[in-house]
Amino acid sequence: MIEVQDDDLVIFTKVTKSFQTPAASYTAIRDVTVSVKRGEIAILLGPSGCGKSTLLNLTAGLLTPTQGQVLYDGRPVAGLNPKVAYMTQQDHLLPWRTVEGNVAVPLELAARDRAARDERVTELLALVGLKDFANSYPNQLSGGMRKRCALARLLAADRETLLLDEPFGALDAQLRLTLQAEFLRLCRSLNLTVLFVTHDIEEAAALADKCVVFQGRPGAVARVLASPLPRERDLMRLRVDPRHHAFTNELWDLLAPDLTGPTPTATAH
Ligand SMILES: Nc1ncnc2c1ncn2[C@@H]1O[C@H](COP(=O)(O)OP(=O)(O)O)[C@@H](O)[C@H]1O
Ligand SMILES: [Mg+2]
C-alpha cells in the first residue's frame, strides 16, 4: 500500500497497461505506483519504450488502465481529464494559423469573448517571448520558437496540471537551457503541477522536484528520488553545483544498465 497524502494530486496505484495487438497482448507498464503532489514538478525518466508516454496518456484520460487505478484529485480518471493540458511529443501547431491564432485555440474552445481572448494571447506571447512573432506562421519559426508557441498554447488552456512529453527534445543545448529556465520560472509563478517526460538525465536533474526513474520493458518504477536542489534554483549555475552533479550521477547509475542494454525492437514514441 502507498500512503496517500492530502496534497497528492495524481496517484497511480499498481497500474498496469496492456495493449491488444493483432498478434498478442503487449504490456507497456507494469504495477506502477507513484504519486505527484500539487505544485510539484515530477520528471518521468527512462529509456525509450518504457511507458512514459503511456503514463501521460493515462493521466489525461486518453487511456484506461488494464489493472490498478489512476486518481486525479481524489477521483478516478474517467474520460478526458479536464484539469490537465497536454503537450504531446509532436507540437501539433496548426500550419494554417499564425502564432497568435495557434495560441488562441484553447481560448476559442472555451468560448472566451474576442476582447478577453486577444488580451490573454498578448499576455501569453509576452510571457514566452514571442510577441514580435504574433503574425508569423509555424513554418517561419525556429525549433525553439515553435516550442515556445506550443507552450503558450498549453498555458492558454489554463489548467492546473501540465503534461509534457519531451518538450525540449530536439533543441540545441543552449536554447534548451534557456527554455528550461523560463519553463521553471513559469511553473513556479503559476504553482503548476507538472508531469514531465524526458529521457535526458541532465534535464531531469535540472527540473525535478521528484524524479521517477523507469526501467525495463514492460516499464516499472525503479526508484523515486527527491531532488537535492531547492525549489527555487538557478539553472545557469547547476554546472558548478555539486548537489546537481551527485544527483545526475545517481540517475546515470540507475539508468546505465538499461541504456547499455539491447536495442529496442518496437517503435517507442
Ligand atoms: N496504442 C498502442 N498499441 C500498442 N502498443 C503501444 C501503444 N502505445 C504504446 N505502445 C507500446 O508500449 C510501449 C511503451 O510505449 P510508450 O509509452 O510510448 O513509451 P515511451 O514514451 O517511454 O517511449 C512501447 O513498446 C510501445 O510500442
Ligand atoms: Mg514517449
pLDDT digits (tens, 9 = 90+) for 103-124: 999 999 988 899 999 999 999 9
Domain boundaries of the chain, sorted by first residue: 8-83+160-259, 92-158
Name the amino acid, one letter, at 127: L
- Give helix then strand counts, H and E, for the chain: 8, 10
What is the number of other CB atoms lying within 10 angstroms of the CB of residue 230? 9
Please state, rounded to an integer, the average pLDDT across all residues of the chain. 91
What does the pLDDT look like over 63-83, one tens digit per residue? 999 999 999 999 999 999 999
Q: Which atom of ligand 1 is the closest one to the Cα of 57? A: 17
SS3 211: strand
Q: Which atom of ligand 1 is the closest one to the Cα of 48? A: 23
Task: Tell me the residues surrounding ligand 2 (ion) with CB < 5 Å.
Answer: 53, 269
Packed helices 143-156 and 114-127: angle between N→C axes, nearest 10 degrees = 140
Q: Give domain 8-83+160-259's CATH superfamily.
A: P-loop containing nucleotide triphosphate hydrolases (3.40.50.300)
Name which residue sits closest to atom 5 of ligand 1, judged by CA.
19
266 CB under 6 A from ligand 1? yes
Taking the C-alpha atoms of residue 219 and residue 222, their distance in angstroms, rounded to an integer, is: 9
Name which residue sits closest to atom 24 of ligand 1, judged by CA.
49
What does the pLDDT look like over 193-206, one tens digit per residue? 999 999 999 999 99
Residue 143 banded pLDDT, cuts 50, 70, 90: confident
265 CB under 6 A from ligand 1? no
**Three cell numbers written together for 25:** 497482448
Residue 265 banded pLDDT, cuts 50, 70, 90: low
49 CB under 6 A from ligand 1? yes
Q: Is the pLDDT reported for residue 268 higher than 50?
A: no
What does the pLDDT look like over 213-235, one tens digit per residue? 999 889 999 999 999 999 999 99
269 CB under 6 A from ligand 1? yes
- With a CB cutoff of 8 Å and minimum separation 6, the contacts of 123 are none
Q: Which atom of ligand 1 is the closest one to the Cα of 51? A: 17
If residue 15 lies in a helix (H) or strand (E), which one and from where to where? strand 8-20
Name which residue sits closest to atom 10 of ligand 1, judged by CA.
28
Q: Is the pLDDT reported for residue 1 higher than 70?
A: no
Taking the C-alpha atoms of residue 146 and residue 261, their distance in angstroms, rounded to an integer, is: 34
Q: Is the pLDDT reported for residue 45 higher than 80?
A: yes
Q: Which atom of ligand 1 is the closest one to the Cα of 21? A: 4
Q: What separation, in Å, do the N-terminal and C-terminal C-alpha atoms of the chain show?
A: 31
**Three cell numbers written together for 68:** 490498478
SS3 8: strand
Q: Given 3-state DSSP classes, what are the helix, strand and coil percentages for the chain, each rounded to the nearest 5?
A: 40, 25, 35
Q: Which of 15, 17, 19 to mutate to test the pocket of ligand 1 (most atoms within 8 A of CB)?
A: 19
Task: Give the model's pLDDT for residue 15.
Answer: 97
Task: Give the model's pLDDT for residue 139.
Answer: 95
Name which residue sits closest to atom 11 of ligand 1, judged by CA.
28
SS3 155: helix
What does the pLDDT look like over 17-41, one tens digit per residue? 999 988 899 999 999 999 999 999 9
Taking the C-alpha atoms of residue 229 and residue 97, their distance in angstroms, rounded to an integer, is: 40
Nearest residue to 235 (alpha-carbon basis) of 194, 159, 182? 182
Higher pLDDT, 169 or 264: 169
50 CB under 6 A from ligand 1? yes
Share of the chain above pLDDT 90, in %: 74
